[in-house]
Amino acid sequence: MFPFSQAVVDILSQGKFMIVYACQLDFADGMVLAHTGTGDLVIDGVTYQGVGSLGEVGQAQESDSSGSPMSIDLTLNGLDAYILQETNIRGCRGRPGKLMFVVFDAEGNYAVDILFSGRMDAAQFSYAGNGTDGNKITVPIIDRMAEWQRTGTERWTDENHRARHDGDRFFYAVAQMAEWPIYWGAKKDAPSFTYDK
């Protein structure tokens, strides 16, 4: 399958074009919209901020069996230690992320294709000291198909559910039901559950 749309191919075939990558990363504190060029870039009415040479797009890691991309790393260099610390505390795992390929012709017309869409995995941090040189954050974006192949960490228990949804006691009776005998076809009363707050 050809990865680019006809609109992108039409601009590339003109011979004079500029390419940038743009990303949307939905962090807990708000959406990060960035591109690999410089200055502000408006795509479909949304403004992306340029990170220039501070941004890197890694090679897509492919599945051994299907050959389709499973993950891609986005790296931002030159960050101060406070930004890295805040990102580390707040986390990004499981939140949506998207990488786009944007091509411009000589007149400024553009076409956009989504190269990769999925969810962010745990960010990786590199500290080089108190300054900003060498400080970087790498955020892997995992394809939805790759997510399905991973072993889940969630349990269908009251404790695990409350950790994800504070105050929601949807599974409060699960452990009690596991120990309750089932009388098929009998008219026995339902178990009397205890509700611990």
In this prediction, residue 172 carries a pLDDT of 77
Contact 46, 33 (CB under 8 A): yes
In this prediction, residue 2 carries a pLDDT of 58
Q: What is the pTM of this model?
A: 0.63
Q: Which residues contact 114 (CB under 8 A, 6 or more apart)?
A: 98, 99, 100, 101
Q: Could you tell me the two tokens for 95?
A: 């939140």
Q: Could you tell me the two tokens for 3?
A: 């990865």
In terms of C-beta distances under 8 Å and separation of at least 24 residues, what long-range contacts does 104-109 make, across chains too? 104/11, 104/17, 104/18, 104/19, 104/20, 105/11, 105/14, 105/16, 105/17, 106/14, 106/16, 106/17, 109/11
What is the separation, in whole angstroms, between the first and last Cα of the chain?
A: 54
Write down all domains in the chain, each with its CATH number in brackets.
Answer: 6-149 (2.30.110), 154-189 (no CATH)
In this prediction, residue 47 carries a pLDDT of 92
pLDDT tens sequence for the chain (197 residues)? 457 888 899 989 988 898 898 988 887 777 888 888 888 888 889 999 888 877 778 777 665 555 555 788 888 776 656 666 666 556 677 888 888 999 999 888 899 998 888 888 877 777 766 555 567 778 888 886 665 555 566 667 777 777 777 888 878 777 777 777 777 777 666 666 666 66
In the chain, the amino acid numbered 158 is D
pLDDT tens digits, 75-106: 877 665 666 666 655 667 788 888 899 999 98
Beta bridge partners of 56: 75
Q: Please, what is the Cα angle at 101 between 114 and 126, to 5 degrees?
A: 95
H or E stretch at 30: strand 30-35
